Amino acid sequence: MADINGGQAIVNVLKAFGVTQFFNVPGESFLPVLDAIGAEPSIRLVTNRHESGASFAAEGFAKISGRPAVCMATRGPGASNLSIGIQTALYDSTPMVALVGLVPTELQGTQAFQEFDPGSMFDSLAKRTFVVASRATLEATIAQALTEATVGRPGPVLVGIPADLLSAHAPPAPFGFADTKAEGEPDVSPLLERLRSAARPAFIVSTAAVRGRLAADLGDVAKWIGAPVLCGWRRFSAFDNGHPRFAGSLGLGMPASVRATLDRADLVVGFGPLEQVTIDSGQLNREGLEVINVSATQDANLARRLNRARVVEVVARPEAVARELVRAIPDSRTGARGVDPAAAAEPLGRQALTAASAISLLNQSAGGDVIIVSDAGDFAQPLLRDFKFDRERSFIGPVNGAMGYGLPAAIGARLADPSRPVVCLAGDGGLLMTAGEMETAVRIRADLTAIVFNNRAFGTIKSRQAEAFPGREFGTSLGEVCFTEIAKGMGWKAWSARSVPEFEAALNSADSTTGCRLIEVHLNGS
């Protein structure tokens, strides 16, 4: 068999695993990889404007597709820029493989141009970090990275590859992927007994954005038990918001009725990660509460985060546990308990154009299969009250609160499922962090809508500052930016809205056209 270079070897492994999407900012340290992808029609290459955009796009793609995308950057500065999306994927349990070109093997340890130590930098940001030791182990290392990114609790795996190994030729080396056959049926009898004996049980779901069998099974169990079901922080579409047992989503800006639902609970069963914002907003760390968490891998930190509650971990795939619970419950699945879901959000006034009124109007106009992609910021808080993730609607947003996420992740989501409409929500602070990806969206002919909420401030921090230091707000305001002009300059269609009628008209115009569309919402009368 003819020798191949390291770039071709990597592409062979990616193709065998079924990777179809590759995001990057090109670097001289991995030109053989770009050359090999150019010759492989099954893998689509997107060249981003910034490495953070590449990693965010890969993260958004994986959240919608359920399969890892690959992002790549060059050494030193490129790897540093890539890191924000890697940390997002870690917190959000998103499968991802990040490749980084390194200085040649003979120069390692000499502080050569752009040299850095991948392990020292990424061990706390990634699920696992590898540095390829030799050309002979290249294929096997990439295969292991793809496996580790997807088994157990998914997450990002980073692989550093010395540049000389990518140029080196060798016969194709054998590689394989770990056996991930379905596990046996978990014993759910102890969990079922606890659900039966609890006076006021509740479920929290923090699993995939695109709902599957898990959500349907939990809905059946919730109806039988009579328990409310809540979505975790920025997991707003993990459970059907139209289900009769849905009780709201946890996080910043949630209605008081959602917290009241959990205040009444004596048992909370979580499916998927229970991270800090979910715990704090739901006030789960309290005496007298039992928390059972069902997750594919054990979370050694959970007992510390919930040191006042009684914590029980069930280490099993949430999908398998939900399936077995459904099999165990009686055929009659009508709820018999009087635990009512949280009341629906109160209707909002339609006089002033606010983030809440805009999101409420978007909820009315958006289709039943829309993908909502949100950046981090105060503007997004009304999503918990005023947007209903029912039918086939999906939500993705950064659990770790990374700004700049919205636009590149929306590009990734659109590439993951071109059949569904995609709407990006971002504040003026977050959008400008990755605004260069507006040109990327036009270049790849993405069909999506971006709504930017312009209040000329880092809004979340400004509001916290006002609470902590009343009358002494400093360092959180921003200047004037005309996003409609920026968008038009990059080939987008753009509209501006300062009132509810103007926003409604802009939504109608955006819905009636295709391509890249932006609506700038001016808040505070600006």
Q: Which residue has the higher pLDDT, 459 or 294?
A: 294
Going by C-alpha positions, the residue among 380, 386, 373 that lies closest to residue 459 is 380
* C-beta separation of 243 from 219 below 8 A: yes
Q: What is the pLDDT of residue 107?
A: 83
In the block, which residue shows the tokens 């700049």?
404
In the block, which residue shows the tokens 């504040």?
427
For residues 505 and 336, give the distance between their C-alpha atoms in angstroms, rounded to a whole number. 46
pLDDT band, very low/low/confident/very high, at 350 (cuts 50, 70, 90): very low
Going by C-alpha positions, the residue among 523, 480, 518, 510 that lies closest to residue 353 is 523
* C-beta separation of 291 from 312 below 8 A: yes
The answer to whether residue 380 scores a pLDDT higher than 60 is yes
Q: Which residue has the higher pLDDT, 55 or 337?
A: 55
Q: What is the mean pLDDT of residues 480-487?
A: 97
Q: What is the mean pLDDT of residues 45-65?
A: 98
pLDDT band, very low/low/confident/very high, at 178 (cuts 50, 70, 90): confident
Query: Mean pLDDT lowest for which of 71-80, 124-133, 331-340, 428-437?
Result: 331-340
Q: What is the pLDDT of residue 163?
A: 96
pLDDT band, very low/low/confident/very high, at 352 (cuts 50, 70, 90): confident
Q: What is the pLDDT of residue 494?
A: 98
The amino acid that residue 378 corresponds to is D
The answer to whether residue 119 scores a pLDDT higher than 70 is yes
* Strand 394-396 to 371-374 pairing: parallel
φ and ψ of 407, to 5 deg: -65, -50
Q: What is the pLDDT of residues 185-196, one digit of tens each?
A: 899 999 999 999
Angle at 187 (CA atoms; ends 181, 193), nearest 5 degrees: 150
For residues 343 and 337, give the distance between their C-alpha atoms in angstroms, rounded to a whole number. 17
Q: What is the pLDDT of residues 218-237, one digit of tens each?
A: 999 999 999 999 999 999 99
* Residue 392 CB neighbour total at 10 angstroms: 15
* Strand 169-170 to 4-5 pairing: antiparallel
The answer to whether residue 337 scores a pLDDT higher than 60 is no
Longest dimension (CA), the chain: 73
Q: What is the pLDDT of residues 257-275, one digit of tens each?
A: 999 999 999 999 999 999 9
Residue 276: both structure tokens together: 């800090």
Q: What is the mean pLDDT of residues 303-321?
A: 94
For residues 273 and 276, give the distance between their C-alpha atoms in angstroms, rounded to a whole number. 10
pLDDT band, very low/low/confident/very high, at 115 (cuts 50, 70, 90): confident
In the block, which residue shows the tokens 């010395």?
162
* C-beta separation of 165 from 32 below 8 A: no
pLDDT band, very low/low/confident/very high, at 346 (cuts 50, 70, 90): very low
Q: What is the pLDDT of residue 1?
A: 74
The answer to whether residue 349 scores a pLDDT higher than 50 is no
Q: What is the pLDDT of residue 182?
A: 56
Going by C-alpha positions, the residue among 3, 7, 24 that lies closest to residue 161 is 7
* Residue 511 CB neighbour total at 10 angstroms: 14
Q: What is the mean pLDDT of residues 422-450?
A: 98
Q: What is the pLDDT of residues 85-107, one digit of tens each?
A: 999 999 999 999 999 999 998 88
* C-beta separation of 320 from 295 below 8 A: no
Ordered domains of the chain (ranges, CATH): 4-170 (3.40.50.970), 189-328 (3.40.50.1220), 355-522 (3.40.50.970)
Residue 420: both structure tokens together: 């569904």
For residues 227 and 203, give the distance between their C-alpha atoms in angstroms, rounded to a whole number. 7
Q: What is the mean pLDDT of residues 463-492?
A: 93
Q: Percent of the chain at pLDDT above 70? A: 95
For residue 297, what are the contacts with CB-CB under 8 A and spacing of at least 6? Answer: 152, 153, 315
The answer to whether residue 210 scores a pLDDT higher than 70 is yes
Q: How many helices (H) and strands (E) does the chain have?
A: 21, 20
Tell me the pLDDT of the chain averaged across its residues. 93
Q: Percent of the chain at pLDDT above 90? A: 87
Angle at 317 (CA atoms; ends 128, 211), nearest 5 degrees: 100
